[in-house]
Amino acid sequence: MVPSKSAELASLRVAESETQRSAFAPQGEDTMSTRYEVAPGYRVNVRSGPSTKHPIVRVLPLGATVAINCQKYGEWISGPYGTTNIWDNIAPGEYVSDAYVHTGSDDLVAPRCS
């Protein structure tokens, strides 16, 4: 049986996203396995860098969970989980303030971004 064009495209998209994810993840760690809840009732802005001066690239929906690839210090933000200058990298070029992510810690829970 010959695969359809749409099946081929879907397969390529999955392979491409897995390649991007594994290329971005620190070696020896499965960073995609732990997901953290975003504060209930908040649609959180995802920014291109660790401050509100960086442009918004998308908005997380209500009830979202995120995998944290790495963390970086940036602008201080106050939110439902306290005041912090930790920003969580959730995808290449995408950061959310840790003040809106329930990590259960006031410290870093992932490697520092380089």
pLDDT by residue (tens digit) across 9-45?
A: 333 333 333 333 333 334 444 445 799 999 999 999 9
Count of beta carbons in the 10 Å neighbourhood of residue 46: 19
The answer to whether the CB of 36 falls within 8 A of the CB of 68 is yes
Helix or strand holding residue 31 (H, E): none
- The CATH code that applies to domain 34-114 is 2.30.30
Q: For the segment 54-69, what is each residue's pLDDT rounded down to a tens digit? A: 999 999 999 999 999 9
Q: Of 15 and 72, which is predicted with more confidence?
A: 72
pTM of the complete model beyond 0.75: no
